[in-house]
Structure 1
Amino acid sequence: MKEKYGIIDIGSNTIRLVIYERQKSGRLREIENVKAVARLRNYLTDAHILTEEGIFLLLDTLRSFQEITRHHQLERVRCVATATIRQAKNKQEIIELVEKNTDFHMRVLTGVEEAYYGFLAVVNSTPITEAITVDIGGGSTEVTYYKDRELLESYSFPFGALSLRQTFVSGNVPTEEELKRLSIYLTEQIQSLPWLSEKKVPLVSMGGSARNIVQIHQLMKQYPLAGVHQYEMKRKHLFDVRKLLMSLSFEELQKLEGLSKDRADLIIPALEVFCALYDTVDASSFVLSRKGLRDGIFYEELIQPFGTQLFPNVLQESFYELAQDYDIRLDDVQHVNQLLAQLVAQIRKLKLYPITEEDVHDMKQAAHVFYLGQYIDEEASSQHTFYLLANRTIDGLMHKDRVKLALIASYKNKPLFKQYIAPFSDWFSKEEQRRMRFIGALVKFAHSLNDTKRKIVQHITLTKQPGAIVMDIICTGDFRAEEYQAEKNKKQLEKIWKQPIELRFRQ
């Protein structure tokens, strides 16, 4: 049986059970995600006592989750609680009741721990090395500042989307006057932390409210790509969403695509937090991390045995997972990269094409996942490769870079490239598109030199002859299969160089 892990996140707004299954790559895949909108915050009195009704609701929800965890035969389930339980004066009684009446032992996180797990999730799933992170819950908001992937500052504000709505909004949606008072309060609170001011770094946000804001914006602009993790917005985009939300009635908000119905009355207060933070930080962008508190807890558990809590390289980890999931042989990747290095050196020597270091970097990445769609179907491997890479979340790659990788790694010919890039054509300049076609053609040619996976091609030399480029290819075995594929694939390079290539295979 595959290993399974469960985690219950008892928040102020929602209580959620997530079950993960470990894949052969070691990656945890979510197989169950059950949410209960309990709004425990509503049962916390002014004296900070969680009422009997609130405790009953918590226990009843946990017992319903218990049926699912028992069905999956989970031996250990992490159960953590955040702001509402943390702020409750009767939290010890609640902990004991949970332990007595359910299978679970509830751990109440401090604000510092909650902020730390959010940081850990972001730094292990994005390429961003310096940022401010923010996680808005129902009853608290955690912020951190990290640089060079090292946590430097953290703080937990004692307000969240639900408590802000309770304090500042009389109806289901705020009036202009209520929104103004809320904005002034948030700006004062946020500016009380000097380390947030004028950082000019990305603002990386976690949680359901941030995810809903991204989903709304993607629908507003008819975004052509799947997935929200590492999606990037600018200040104007946040305020465009704000303008849309403020123009709708509560009934219209409940029906708005991309917005969870149960979050319709919380989304505007949450967005106000993001806007106030963005302006205080003078952020360079607003980035969504789909990974948050729950992932941070698992990262700690899974990576810590290796003496660290950080992946050394987020993107390398993702490529390792892709290799495992799609049966990519890393020794073949290494050999193709060696052939590419020889080709690059020869092309630069003859000044056939101005290859940059960024091009070399892109080649190496594409060689790692070139035609991985063969795992699904050999005949349509290019199409499958593009679809898989463009639509699968790859931790460490922002959306534009993911599309770029998909275009290069799936390269077959110019017409197919134009078909793939059509929804994204305004993302890339004409020069960038030409470079991607060249890199794709070169990677495809290098792969053809290892067609039988025997690694027989050892040395490549290019020379300019009158009317042609001659490529001498030295092999250690019978090269007929490689020669056939190379002859077939050289025409893409010939079109780019605008001259014929003569292949000379020798054993």
Structure 2
Amino acid sequence: MKRKVGIIDIGSNTTRLVIYVQPQKGVPFKEVENIKMGVRLRTYLNDEKIVSNEGISLLIDTLHNFHSLLHHYKVTDITCVATATIRQAKNKEEILHIVQEKTGFTLTLLNEYEEAFYGYTAVTHSTDIKEGITVDMGGGSTEITYFRNRELIEYCSLPFGSLSLTLDFVKGSVPNDEEKRQIRQYVRAQLEGVPWIFNKTVPLIGMGGSARNLAQLHQHLINYPLSGIHQYEMDVSTIQEIKEKLKSLTLTELQKLEGLSKERADTILPSIEVFDILLEESKATQFIISKKGLREGILYNKIDKQDDSSTSLVDIGIEEIIYDFHINIDNSRQMIKIANVIVEQVNKINKMEGYITKQDRMLLEQASSIFHLGKYLNEESSSHHTFYLLSNRSILGLSHRERVKLALLASYKGKRTFRQYIEPFKDWYTKEEQKKMCLLGSILKVAQSLNITKRNVVDDIKISSKNNGWVMDIQCHGDYKPEEHRMEKQKKHLEKSLKISLTPNFNR
């Protein structure tokens, strides 16, 4: 039975509803609806810290719209949370009461720790980063955490966000040099009370709309060859380059930039100043973007309380792909078994112990599980579809570099197509890494050949060296002729990679 969860996030800048569905137990939740309304509740918070009636009415109208969607999707498990603006409002109790009375939603007001904790949870449940600083810049506050060995060590909530900085410091449509200086001065003053941020020399992980827009903007500026921003990595110097490109643009010109949301055009420049300062003061090693944030943190926390799973992030991502493409699990297991046996035999006979590492073996198993999944779309262009789908699909726990590597192996057809696929990314990998990927890919081609009928007829494989060549003794049960025929056509890949001649010897 499908499990559905709805999460409403009432932020200072936007109010958003996300609906997640778990198709069946053991399968990851998928986002099926994501509706954002640019309420900008912060603009209705006056100097006396009162949210005006106009702002409350706009919020209620938005929640009524969300209620209709939740009813349409038949979602009953609903979490509705609010952050900085309502948290800071003197009439917050009144707002909570009105929301309950007018919409039926029980509004939970997140405190500073909870908001920071959910952001940290989102990062540690969707990346394999062991130590880092997270920064979640909303419209009215900025939550920062420091984690080590994936455990939360420090947290803080700073009283500014992308929208509040814009409202407090920018008089025109975009900040001038003096206003930027004032923003930087203010942010640095706020950081003085948070000494644990300084000189950490760990990755800075950005989440929230400002961070996502910054990543999308950078991807368009450099014509990035992949889609998706989760675990997108930028050098620290990148921020300075973006600032230089944007500093002379008008609001109208910013609104026309590819990758930048029109409604964030007026707040992106103050946001960049904050990221720049945090990167500088923390001595960050790199800037990594997490697409997962507060809402996913709430979801993960909800799941953790009900499901006890020790499955790795990457394995969860692979399981999701297997489910989405209806991949034959028995065939995947046989592919993994054959590939592992070949690796062991190749290592032994070629004295390559240590060349194919434990990490390589894990990658090989992952690629075995989803090898040529593109055939479920089109058999003739299976390799092409496989590479495109995997290289452009966010997979939990994998960086973009690792994702492309997985795509190259799972789509392996031969060295010619490998060179075509890797062309936009060839600077990401050394020649030795590319050589090893071709070897692993050729092992997968052989493994596929030895189960071409998907009947799991191969029981064992032994490789020996004879007469300046290799003999592969393949023990089978049942009819192995289709596998034998396919093996004769595909063994060339392994022969070229290892520079040997290979004689398959099938027997029962």
- TM-score interval, normalised by the smaller of the two chains: over 0.9
In structure 2, the CA distance between the partners of 1:21 and 1:429, relative to structure 1 (3 Å rule), is: same
Structure 2: give runs of 5+ residues left out of the alignment. Answer: none
| Other-structure match for 1:53 | 54
| Other-structure match for 1:339 | 338
In structure 2, the CA distance between the partners of 1:16 and 1:325, relative to structure 1 (3 Å rule), is: same
Deviations, residues 350-379 of structure 1 (Å, cap 9, x unaligned):
226543333323212211211112222223
Which one is further off, 338-347 or 278-287? Answer: 338-347
| Other-structure match for 2:322 | 323
1:42 aligned onto 2:55:
no
Which one is further off, 427-436 or 205-214? Answer: 427-436
| Other-structure match for 1:13 | 13
| Other-structure match for 1:380 | 381
- Does the aligned pair in 2 maintain the 1:187–1:280 contact within 8 Å? no
| Other-structure match for 1:209 | 210
SS where residue 459 of structure 2 aligns?
Answer: strand
Distance 1:295 1:431 in 2: 38
| Other-structure match for 1:296 | 297
- Does the aligned pair in 2 maintain the 1:370–1:410 contact within 8 Å? yes
Deviations, residues 2-28 of structure 1 (Å, cap 9, x unaligned):
443222111001111222232346332
Please state how far the C-alpha of 1:68 moved relative to its aligned partner.
Answer: 2.3
| Other-structure match for 2:275 | 274
Deviations, residues 81-126 of structure 1 (Å, cap 9, x unaligned):
1000011111111111011111311111111101111111111111
- Does the aligned pair in 2 maintain the 1:228–1:290 contact within 8 Å? yes
1:359 aligned onto 2:360:
yes
Deviations, residues 62-86 of structure 1 (Å, cap 9, x unaligned):
1222232233333242211100001
- Does the aligned pair in 2 maintain the 1:13–1:41 contact within 8 Å? yes
Structure 1: give runs of 5+ residues left out of the alignment. Answer: none
Alignment TM-score, normalising by the size of structure 1: 0.95
Residues 1-150 of structure 1 mapped to structure 2, 5 A cutoff: 2-24=2-24, 26-150=27-151
Distance 1:341 1:425 in 2: 27
Distance 1:114 1:321 in 2: 28
Amino acid at match of 1:241: I
Residues 488-507 of structure 1 mapped to structure 2, 5 A cutoff: 488-507=489-508
Distance 1:112 1:312 in 2: 28
Amino acid at match of 2:487: A
Deviations, residues 382-416 of structure 1 (Å, cap 9, x unaligned):
11211111111101110011011101111011111
Distance 1:299 1:161 in 2: 26
- Does the aligned pair in 1 maintain the 2:445–2:493 contact within 8 Å? no
Which one is further off, 271-280 or 61-70? Answer: 61-70
Identity %: 48
Amino acid at match of 1:326: F
- Does the aligned pair in 1 maintain the 2:235–2:287 contact within 8 Å? yes
Residues 190-229 of structure 1 mapped to structure 2, 5 A cutoff: 190-229=191-230
- Does the aligned pair in 1 maintain the 2:231–2:291 contact within 8 Å? yes
Which one is further off, 177-186 or 322-331? Answer: 322-331
SS where residue 228 of structure 2 aligns?
Answer: coil
Please state how far the C-alpha of 1:128 moved relative to its aligned partner.
Answer: 0.9
In structure 2, the CA distance between the partners of 1:487 and 1:397, relative to structure 1 (3 Å rule), is: same
| Other-structure match for 2:474 | 473
Please state how far the C-alpha of 1:312 moved relative to its aligned partner.
Answer: 4.7
Distance 1:334 1:54 in 2: 57
Distance 2:328 2:191 in 1: 50
| Other-structure match for 2:410 | 409
In structure 2, the CA distance between the partners of 1:333 and 1:71, relative to structure 1 (3 Å rule), is: closer
Please state how far the C-alpha of 1:224 moved relative to its aligned partner.
Answer: 0.5
- Does the aligned pair in 2 maintain the 1:199–1:283 contact within 8 Å? yes
Cα RMSD (Å): 1.8
| Other-structure match for 2:349 | 350
Amino acid at match of 1:319: I
- Does the aligned pair in 1 maintain the 2:85–2:140 contact within 8 Å? yes
- Does the aligned pair in 1 maintain the 2:133–2:144 contact within 8 Å? yes
SS where residue 21 of structure 1 aligns?
Answer: strand
Which one is further off, 289-298 or 185-194? Answer: 185-194
Alignment TM-score, normalising by the size of structure 2: 0.95
| Other-structure match for 1:183 | 184
Which one is further off, 489-498 or 288-297? Answer: 489-498
- Does the aligned pair in 2 maintain the 1:339–1:446 contact within 8 Å? yes
| Other-structure match for 1:453 | 454
Distance 1:13 1:474 in 2: 65
SS where residue 258 of structure 2 aligns?
Answer: coil
SS where residue 424 of structure 1 aligns?
Answer: helix
- Does the aligned pair in 2 maintain the 1:191–1:280 contact within 8 Å? no
- Does the aligned pair in 2 maintain the 1:40–1:84 contact within 8 Å? yes
- Does the aligned pair in 1 maintain the 2:439–2:498 contact within 8 Å? no
- Does the aligned pair in 2 maintain the 1:44–1:84 contact within 8 Å? yes
Please state how far the C-alpha of 1:214 moved relative to its aligned partner.
Answer: 0.5
